[in-house]
Amino acid sequence: MSFDVPLQAIERRDTATIARSFHATHNRLYGYTLEAEGTSIELINVRLQAVGVTKKRDHAENPYHRSDASHATKLRRRMYIPETNTYQTAQIYDGHHLRHGNRIAGPALIETATTAVFVSASYDCVVDRYGSFVLYRKGREDLIQSCLGRVEAEILA
């Protein structure tokens, strides 16, 4: 259950006001309160929501490498391809070795230490200047320009 607590109650460490806010919310949600019995309250999670202006972090832009991603291949493995409802052998890529500009034709799988990205048969992938894997529907290569930038898109043209 979540409930709002006035900032002043937190700043003053006013546990009575915080408890009243809890009991009022409990009563509204569940139709009863144990406030009169003096039942203790146990806080399990405390969450904070804040709105403000912050300095934006600079993201390092990687230099254009090339479209060929063969340097990042690991092995080939059979995997389920939903478009054909079959299993096919497809290329596996080491995501940590992919560089800006590398393009991967689906179906394929990109593996990193923390995730795996499945590129289905209807999609291809390009690595953008920030190292993100951007999937786009086959036949929409025009979308690559926004991922690579004007200079790199001209190189590919």
Assigned domain for 147 exists: yes
Spatial distance between the Cα atoms of 4 and 12, rounded to a whole number of angstroms: 16
- At 61 the pLDDT is 83
One domain, residues 149 and 75: yes
**pLDDT value of residue 75:** 95
Pair 91, 148 in one domain: yes
Domain-embedded: residue 58: no
pLDDT at 146: 67
Distance CA 33, CA 24 (A): 8
- Number of domains within the chain: 2
Q: Which two tokens stand for residue 65?
A: 């490498």
Residue 63 lies in a domain: no
* pTM as predicted: 0.59
**Any domain includes 152:** yes
What is the C-alpha separation between 70 and 53, in angstroms, rounded? 43
Which range marks the domain in which residue 94 is found? 70-156
Q: For residue 81, is it within any domain? A: yes
Q: Does residue 140 form part of some domain?
A: yes
Q: What is the pLDDT of residues 85-123, one digit of tens each?
A: 999 999 999 999 999 989 999 999 999 999 999 999 999
Cβ atoms 125, 89 nearer than 8 A: no
Largest CA distance in the chain: 76
Assess contact for 142 and 115: CB atoms under 8 A.
no
Q: Write the single-letter amino acid at 37.
A: E
CA gap 6, 15 in Å, rounded: 11
Same domain? 24 vs 87: no
Same domain? For 35 and 76 the reply is: no
Q: What is the mean pLDDT of each run of 10 residues along the chain (157 residues)?
A: 84 90 90 84 79 82 88 96 94 96 94 94 92 89 68 49
User: Do both 31 and 96 map to the same domain?
Assistant: no
